[in-house]
């Protein structure tokens, strides 16, 4: 299961401590309890093998190279270990050249967990089991019984369960459609998604306690929602963090929209913040309207945008959920 021989334990521990120091230096892991989790949960157990991209060359197409912890070549084993503790995402499952699952960038995980604002006794649902590493961090903080992770692919949940057990953690690992949540384990105080969503699934709100917190990647950002009851029904609302976030899309939830529409200035299309707005408004605003909004509002950062989710409707907004700049997400219409 990717466990290291005794002679490799010390290098792994030092690599893990170096990773934590780098995340802290960059402003992450402000909560000491999360810092301890990153220091003590061994990431290499969750990536016994992973794939690194191989660039295309003349006469040779690009592809993926597999690195694994039991490679007979000591140089490649060292590459595997060093890569397991770099601050970057790791491709853990590739099929027909397409990336299906990955272990997210540790510093991004740290920012998400900080923003989750867990409290003692919270029950957490994770959407997208991945390698199991993120669930292990949650288990370290909250205990196995309070953590549920779900994924659509039975191969992913099987491997995540095995990785978690190898590291000494046994949360509930469920094979199922993450857009439907896990009603049998509800209610939840926190929901965190580790895959990109086109909209926020309404089923999640019904499985949340009042005042629950949801963090999910939408477009290329992370939205933080607070779930509330207003007397007329359940709704959730909140803003995006400034942090950019790129995840594997949630399967079954629709693909990402094209981010290179024709007829727009190349400088704008290459701007990372404008591409965020393009993805957030896809299907609702004409790309040229989105460009006019972006220019008129002086290239707004992510944290000026937010999302409101009602019982049936949901919409994104700039600055104020009541307008003047609002647009529907998915098939929803602002009410």
The catalytic residue positions are 104
Q: Which residues of 54-83 are buried (b: 16+ CB within 10 A; e: fewer)?
A: eeeeeeeeeeeeebebeeeeeeebeebbeb
Q: Let me know how long the chain is.
A: 335
**Cβ-based neighbour number of residue 186 at 10 Å:** 17
DSSP states along 172-215: EEEES-GGG--GGG--EEEEEE-SBBSS--HHHHHTEEEEEEEE
Closest among 162, 168, 161 to 140, alpha carbons compared: 168
Say how far apart CA 137 and CA 149 lie, in whole Å.
Answer: 12
Tokens of 31: 């909560």
Say how far apart CA 308 and CA 321 lie, in whole Å.
Answer: 7
- In 69-198, the DSSP E strands lie at 90-95, 98-103, 124-127, 147-151, 172-175, 188-193
């Amino acid at each position: 299961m990717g466990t290291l021989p005794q002679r490799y334990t010390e290098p792994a521990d030092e690599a893990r401590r170096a990773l934590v120091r780098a995340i802290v230096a960059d402003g992450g892991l402000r909560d000491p309890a999360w810092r301890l989790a990153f220091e003590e949960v061994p990431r290499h157990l969750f990536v016994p093998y992973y794939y690194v991209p191989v660039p295309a060359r003349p006469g040779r197409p690009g592809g993926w190279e597999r690195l694994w912890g039991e490679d007979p070549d000591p140089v490649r084993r060292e590459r595997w270990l060093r890569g397991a503790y770099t601050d970057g995402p790791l491709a853990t499952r590739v099929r027909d050249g397409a990336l299906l699952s990955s272990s997210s960038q540790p510093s991004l995980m740290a920012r998400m967990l900080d923003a989750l604002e867990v409290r003692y006794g919270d029950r957490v649902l994770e959407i997208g089991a991945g390698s199991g590493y993120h669930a292990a961090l949650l288990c370290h903080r909250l205990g196995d019984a309070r953590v549920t992770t779900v994924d659509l692919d039975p191969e992913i949940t099987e491997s995540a369960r095995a990785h978690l057990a190898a590291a000494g953690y046994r949360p509930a690992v469920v094979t199922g459609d993450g857009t439907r949540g896990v009603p049998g384990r509800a209610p939840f105080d926190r929901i965190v998604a580790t895959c990109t969503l086109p909209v926020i699934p309404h089923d999640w709100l019904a499985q949340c306690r009042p005042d629950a917190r949801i963090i999910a990647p939408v477009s290329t950002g992370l939205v933080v929602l607070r779930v509330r009851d207003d007397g007329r029904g359940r709704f959730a609302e909140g803003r995006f963090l400034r942090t950019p976030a790129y995840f594997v899309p949630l399967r079954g939830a629709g693909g990402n929209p094209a981010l290179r529409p024709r007829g727009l200035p190349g400088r704008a299309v290459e701007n990372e913040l404008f591409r965020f707005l393009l993805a957030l408004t896809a299907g609702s605003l004409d790309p040229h309207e989105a460009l006019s909004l972006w220019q008129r509002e002086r290239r707004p950062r992510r944290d000026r945008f937010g999302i409101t989710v009602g019982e049936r409707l949901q919409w994104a907004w700039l600055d104020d959920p009541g307008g003047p700049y609002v647009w529907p997400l998915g098939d929803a219409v602002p009410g």
